[in-house]
Structure formats: C-alpha cells, structure tokens
Structure 1
Amino acid sequence: MELFLMFVILFALLIAGAPVAVALGVSSLFFISTSGMPSLVVLHNMVNGINSFPLIAVPFFIMAGHLMNTAGITTKIFTFARATVGWMHGGLGHVNVGASVIFAGMSGAAVADAGGLGNIEIKAMREAGYDTDFSVGITAASSTIGPIIPPSLPLVVYGVIADTSIGQLFAAGLIPGVIMALALMGMVAFYARLRDYPRDDRFSFRVFLLTFADALLPLFTPVIIVGGILTGIFTPTEAAIAAVVYSLFLGMFVYRTLDMRRILRVSMETIETTASIMLIVAASAIFAWILTANQVAQLFARELLGITENPTAILLIIMLIVLVVGCFMETIAAITILTPVLLPVAVSIGIDPVHFGIILILNLMIGLLTPPVGMVLYVLSKVAVVPFERCVVATAPFLVPLVAVLLLLSFLPSLSMWLPVYLYR
C-alpha cells in the first residue's frame, strides 16, 4: 500500500508542477517514514547515488558545450555545414541537421544544441524564406542527435546506473546518430520538394576549403573526445576534462572571444546545470533503491511475462512505457528510475545492456519533443519567439522519422552493437 501511495504522491507532485527532484524526494521520504525504515537510509543512498567517478564527466561536458557557445564556435560550425550541404534542395534544413551532428560531438545535450545552434539556425532559415514552423521543427528534431552521438550526458548517467561500459555506450551511439541524421535529412528533402524551399548557390570547393580551414580547430574537439575514448587514450571523464581545456585554449588564445568575465559566467551556468542534474540523480537514487528493495523489477517482469512471452511484444511494451514516461519526466530522472526496473526485463529476453541503453535514450529524446514537459520545445519557444503550442505542432511531423529509426534500432541490434563489439569485445 505504501508503495502505491508513493507513486500517487510522485505523479501528483509532477502534475502540480513541482521540480522533479522535489517530487522524487518527497515521495521517497513518505515511503521511508511510513514503512519504518531508518532515516539514515536517505542520506546513505543520496551520497552513494552521486559518489561515482564517471559522473565527474557530467560538469565538464556541460562546461565544454557552454564554452563552445560563448566563444562563438557554433557560428563557425554552422558556416562550415552550410558550405558542405547548403547547395542541396532545402539546403538550410540539411545544414541544420549537419551542424547538430558536429555539435553533438562536442556537447552531448539536446537542450544545449537547441539553445546554442537553434538561435543561429532559425534566424538564418527565416531570412532565407523558410517557414517558421519548419525551422523550429527540424531544429528541435535534430537536437535529439546530441545525446546519441558521443559524448552524451544521458549515456554517462545510464552507464553508471546500469554498471555498463561508458566507452561501449559511446561507440554504440555513433552509427545510430548517423542514421538519425540521414532520416531527418530525408524528411527535409521531402518538405523541400513539397514546398519548393530554396537552396544556396552551387557547391564551391573553394568556399568549402575556406570554411573548413576556419572551423578546423573546433572540428578537432569531437576527434579529441570520441577518438580519445575509442582508442583508449582517455577515459570518458578524462576526455571531458580535455574538451574543457581545449575549448578554453580556442576561446582564450586562438579566437580571443573568452575573457575572465565570460568564463566566470560559463562557470556559474555549469554549476547551476550540474547542481540540478546531481540533485535529480541523488533523489532518484533513493527512489530507485526503494524499487530495488521491494523487488519492483521482478514483480514487473513477472506481470509482463504473464501477459506475453514473445520477446518482440515485450520490447514493444517496454518502448511504449518509456515513451509515455519521457513525455512527463525529465530525461535524467527517467533514466535513474526506469533503468533498475526495465533493464533486468530487457536482459531476460536477450537484449544487451549497451543496446538497451541506446534504445532507452532515443525513446526519452523523443519525449523531449512532446508535451507536457518537452524541454527542447520550451527552449525553442523562447529562441524563436513563438508559442509553445505552435512548437508542438511544428515538431510533430518530425517524430515520424525518429520513431522509425527507434524501431529500426530496436529490432536490428547490430546497427548499434557492431562498433562496440568490434572495438571492445
């Protein structure tokens, strides 16, 4: 009964608009106080939840993304992407996707992509004659590539909770990220033909070389991060620190766009973002411990297997659950709560934890594009100065290719597992 009431309190607080960490903490405290458990359990699990070496990577990846935005490096990335694919029909839509792929190798957060590149992309697309709805929709959809292509904050958190190699998770995200980009570019091509969107001038190899030279040093950032991890030179945590050092080097000494005042502002933004994430992780750790202690995963697996023993049907049910939860809950909180419950079920039907991590994160990224939470939509609503409801409608068509990619990755595990198996196993 206490367990049921804990869930009632959790969802009631979330619906009422309480912060996720508060909702998780209050509902967990209710269960502990009514079940006679010692209050020391709360402190113990909160500390254990964030006492993890891989989690040190989180603030550094966040800071690297903020530094790139503040130093104006995102503009160079956008210009290079425009010279590369802007000549195609609906060119700026393709540029939008391409720039997100490059920025994904630097930041690893969908909201950072939407906030950093979104302002540049939407402004350029409006000036070129693209519909605002299309501009917002493709910007929102392409931002979800960020947490799939390494480095990825959600994959780091999942790796810690699932006790899974973060290096393997990063390797598993590369091919799915490229597939997502191709699917979205296919959608852009369809709309470009349908609405006769413009293209830039013909491809110019000279302009390509000039913009490539201008963006060369920023383009080394994903090479340092991803290449360093996959070759074993860095751990993910060390790669995150290297990304910050390299970003500071570019901003302070190469482009001279970072001064101490801007670095201080970036540091404060990083502290605020990290604190909110760690608070959610700490509160979720208590909640997840309660679920584990009460064998919720085993109960859920038993009930699910009672409905069907077909692995395909079970996987579809799991995906549906994650999609629904992703609509109502912040990504990090959803990962910390769902992983202990769903991962044992997934493993029992033969799904590799690395493969499941990619499916889980992509599910939750789709949730970022749906109300009522839809953090990416709120960011773009402010960036594009359009109502939130209009952002929802504008993004809806782009859910189709993302869901198609989700199904493809779910039932063709080799697409995500080939690279980690080749590199690590």
Structure 2
Amino acid sequence: MTALVILIFLLLLMMGIPISLVLGMITVIYFFLMDNTTLLASTPMRLYSGLENFGLLAIPLFMLAGELMNGGGITTRLVRFAKVFVGHVRGGLAYVTIISNMFLASILGSANAQAAMMSKVMVPEMEKEGYNREFSSALTLASSIVAPIIPPSMIFIIYGTQSGASIGGLFMAGIIPGILYGIGFLSLIAYLGYKHNFPKSQRATGREMLSNTVQVLPALLVPFIIIVGILSGAFTATESAGIACAVAFLVGAFLYKELKWNKIPQILVNTVISTATVTFLIAMANIFGWMIAFEQIPQLIANSMLSLSENPFVFLLLVNVLLLLLGMILDGIAALIILVPVLMPLVTAFQIDPIHFGVIICINLTIGLLTPPVGTGLFIVSSIAEVRFERLVKATNPFLLLAIVILLVITYWEDAVLLIPRWLGLV
C-alpha cells in the first residue's frame, strides 16, 4: 500500500501539478485506499486546525509590510543608498546587489519575493554597466537566499509554530548566519571582480552620500523597530509585524509621499494572493504530515538514522544531505512542514538545540531555491530576467557551492547561531 501511494505521489509531481495540491490529493487517495472513513471525515477539521496558530498571523503582516515598503519607495532608496557608497569600486554594482539584498532581507523575509523584486531592478542596471546577464541573474538569485535568514523570516515563523521553538529566538539566531552569507558572497565577488575585471561606477560626491544617508534613515525604521521591539520584550514577533506595517505606511505615504491611495488596492491584492498561496500549502502539508504520522513513518526514519550512528555530528551531516536532496524536488515550505515533525524527536534524542537546528534546516531548504530541477528561485529569475534556465543554473553553481560551505560552518559552529540568543536570554 505504501509503495503504491509513493508511486502515485511521484507521478503527480512529474505531471507538473503544484506541490500543495499533490500533498492534499495523495492524503485523500491514501484514506480512500485504506477505506478509512473516520480519517477521511476528519480531514476538513485537520485542515483548519493546522492553521489555527497565532504565530502564523505574522506571515500576512510581514508580506503586507514588504508590499507597503516597495510601493512607498523605501526599497529603491535602500538600493540607491548602497550604490552611492560602494558603487564606485571594481564590481561595485555587484556589491550593491548583495548589500541591497541584505537590507531587503530585514524587511521582506521571503527569498522568492526578494528574487523577483531584485531581478526587475538590478539585472537591467548591471547589464547596462557591462555585466553578463547570466551572472547578474545568478548573483541576484543567490544573494536573495539571505531573506529567510535575517529577521524577520517567514520560514522561521513556520518552523517555530511547528516545533515550539521561540520565534523571537530564531529571528535573533539568524543575524550572524545572514552576515556570514553576506560576507561570503562579497568575498566571492571581490575574487571574481579581480579575475574578470568587473566595471566600476562613477564615485558619488560627499553631498550625494549625505543626502542619500538622510533619505534612507526613515526606511531603516522598519527593521530597527522589529529587532529592538523583540529584543526589549515590548512586543512579540507577530505584533512587530503589525507595527512594521504601520511604520511602512506612514513612511511611504507621509515622508516619501510615494505611497498613493490608488496603490493600496493592488498592494492588498498582492498580499492576499501571496498569503493564500502559503497558507494553502501549510494546510495541505499539515494533513500530509498527519497521514505519514498515522503510517509511523517518523518513527521508522528515526530508528533508521539512530541505527546508522549515535553521534550528533554524523546525524547533522546526514540531515544536511537529506535536506539538500529533498530541496531539489520539493518546495522549501512544504518540505519544512513535512520534515519538522519527523526530525524533532531525533533532535531531542541527540540533545541538539531546537533553535540551532531550526536555522540549519531553514537555511538548507532555502538553498533549494538554487538547485534544479524544482528550484523555484531559478524559475522566477529565469522568467523575469529572460535568461535560459540551463545557463542560469550554470552561472549559479559558484554561489551554490559557497552557500553549502557556509551551511556546514553554521552546522558545526553552534556559537555562530546561538551567540546572540544566549546573550539575550532567549535560549
């Protein structure tokens, strides 16, 4: 029976059916094949209960904050600020792409949204400066993976609600890994810039630097309020999302005066569509997880991995390999929701900190955006930047290799993840 269900699952994926629908369909098919009417009748209730979590409320709020900042001209000012200060060095626009992605990561929290936005903005600009379009697209995609690492992070919110780990602790744990990825990509650009003689932009004047610094300060209010608010205990991660929306609206509408009332309907529509996509996936993955729990698959996997080794370092290596492989064929959020209930008993058994493990699993699945054949980031950037898929994959390889190396550093250097949460008493 299990083999038949797995075969149907693979067939549905190969037919190109969205993963969210596949998860729901395979669960219903399984219950029909089992002739288990009790579980089938309970499925609608299970769908609803999977979304009945206060922490998930942060997802639409952070998405709305990102849309408001984009519509209010905040994101363009962040990019301009980075360009003024580093655009004049060799490979300056490539540095701007990475630094801008780190700024936006503290606002959006979604790698796909960030990759789509930055592809529209940076790829044409880099091509005008003389950069190869494939390289520009690969850089934009690769540097967008810091979005789910630097707080706020949608994927951390989902992991926190699934595992019971502190969402505030996860947010703070992502700061150093996010900076490590930024430094790693900047170092790679420095090497490639020297090797390929990347172009420079014109140096900005002191007045331009001062003017852009003054203009960007209100834009930095949103990430500042999120981080300081969580650190001080003034509000939770979910409440900070609501406050971020209010600040983004006030800055865009009244300080920058670019957020017009006629933009609000489209902003709300974009937020609803993005939220509905994620929530539908969470609901479907929840009933799928319920099905595999009924089949005792988590226990089987746990026993298999424990039989291979009782060493936590070996376990983490095996988990990384498993997640990297799954990231090639499954959407990151779907894989996260399916795997967390499976792996958490093992995390407890090996006495691994759940916040440290959460950062590992979330980064690992985010790297899946760069890996074919199902890397959604590859499809998004390929479509927006009009680059052939196979060429984009090839151009992304150096960044993918570096991302995996940094992942291994984070995996085995616990303090890189837990230093700030420990300092703040969140662990």
C-alpha RMSD over aligned residues: 1.5
The alpha carbon displacement at 1:343 in A equals: 2.4
Letter in 1 for 2:258: T
Segments of structure 1 that go 5 or more residues without pairing to the other structure are none
**Within 1, Cα distance between the matches of 2:242 and 2:112?**
21
Question: For residues 266-293 of structure 1, what are the alpha-carbon distances to aligned partners after superposition, in whole Å with 9 as ceiling and x for unaligned?
Answer: 1111111111111110111111122223
Give secondary structure in 1 for the equivalent of 2:213.
helix
Give secondary structure in 1 for the equivalent of 2:383.
helix
The alpha carbon displacement at 1:133 in A equals: 1.9
The alpha carbon displacement at 1:310 in A equals: 3.0
The alpha carbon displacement at 1:32 in A equals: 2.0
Letter in 1 for 2:408: L
Verify: 1:24 aligned to 2:23, yes or no: yes
> What's the counterpart of residue 192 of structure 1?
193
Moved more, 201-210 or 79-88: 201-210
> What's the counterpart of residue 104 of structure 1?
105
> What's the counterpart of residue 8 of structure 2?
9
Moved more, 362-371 or 203-212: 203-212
The alpha carbon displacement at 1:97 in A equals: 0.7
**Within 2, Cα distance between the matches of 1:280 and 1:272?**
12
User: CA, structure 1 residues 352+4, in 2 after alignment: closer, same or farther (shift >3 Å)?
Assistant: farther
The alpha carbon displacement at 1:85 in A equals: 2.3
The alpha carbon displacement at 1:224 in A equals: 1.1
User: CA, structure 1 residues 203+346, in 2 after alignment: closer, same or farther (shift >3 Å)?
Assistant: farther
> What's the counterpart of residue 137 of structure 1?
138
> What's the counterpart of residue 265 of structure 1?
266
**Within 1, Cα distance between the matches of 2:376 and 2:6?**
23
**Within 2, Cα distance between the matches of 1:350 and 1:81?**
42
The alpha carbon displacement at 1:157 in A equals: 0.6
Give secondary structure in 1 for the equivalent of 2:328.
helix
Letter in 1 for 2:235: F
| 1:249-288 → structure 2 map (5 Å cutoff) | 249-288=250-289
**Within 2, Cα distance between the matches of 1:283 and 1:112?**
22
**Within 2, Cα distance between the matches of 1:354 and 1:88?**
38
| 1:356-375 → structure 2 map (5 Å cutoff) | 356-375=357-376
User: CA, structure 1 residues 261+202, in 2 after alignment: closer, same or farther (shift >3 Å)?
Assistant: closer
> What's the counterpart of residue 347 of structure 1?
348
Moved more, 57-66 or 194-203: 194-203
Moved more, 297-306 or 19-28: 297-306
Give secondary structure in 2 for the equivalent of 1:368.
helix
**Within 1, Cα distance between the matches of 2:105 and 2:414?**
22
Give secondary structure in 2 for the equivalent of 1:218.
coil
Verify: 1:225 aligned to 2:226, yes or no: yes
> What's the counterpart of residue 57 of structure 2?
56
**Within 2, Cα distance between the matches of 1:393 and 1:387?**
10
**Within 2, Cα distance between the matches of 1:47 and 1:170?**
27
Task: Please report the TM-score for the alignment, with normalisation by the length of structure 1.
Answer: 0.96
**Within 1, Cα distance between the matches of 2:216 and 2:178?**
21
| 1:54-93 → structure 2 map (5 Å cutoff) | 54-93=55-94
The alpha carbon displacement at 1:40 in A equals: 2.6
Task: Please report the TM-score for the alignment, with normalisation by the length of structure 2.
Answer: 0.96
Cα pair 1:343 1:356 within 8 Å, conserved: no
The alpha carbon displacement at 1:200 in A equals: 3.0
**Within 2, Cα distance between the matches of 1:118 and 1:215?**
21
> What's the counterpart of residue 181 of structure 1?
182
Letter in 1 for 2:149: I
User: CA, structure 1 residues 205+347, in 2 after alignment: closer, same or farther (shift >3 Å)?
Assistant: farther
Cα pair 1:74 1:116 within 8 Å, conserved: no
**Within 1, Cα distance between the matches of 2:221 and 2:21?**
40
**Within 1, Cα distance between the matches of 2:280 and 2:338?**
14
Residue-pair matches, total: 424
Question: For residues 99-141 of structure 1, what are the alpha-carbon distances to aligned partners after superposition, in whole Å with 9 as ceiling and x for unaligned?
Answer: 1111111110111111222222112211111111221111111
Letter in 2 for 1:342: L
Identity within the alignment, %: 36
**Within 2, Cα distance between the matches of 1:67 and 1:211?**
20
Cα pair 2:73 2:259 within 8 Å, conserved: no
Letter in 2 for 1:25: G
User: CA, structure 1 residues 231+37, in 2 after alignment: closer, same or farther (shift >3 Å)?
Assistant: farther
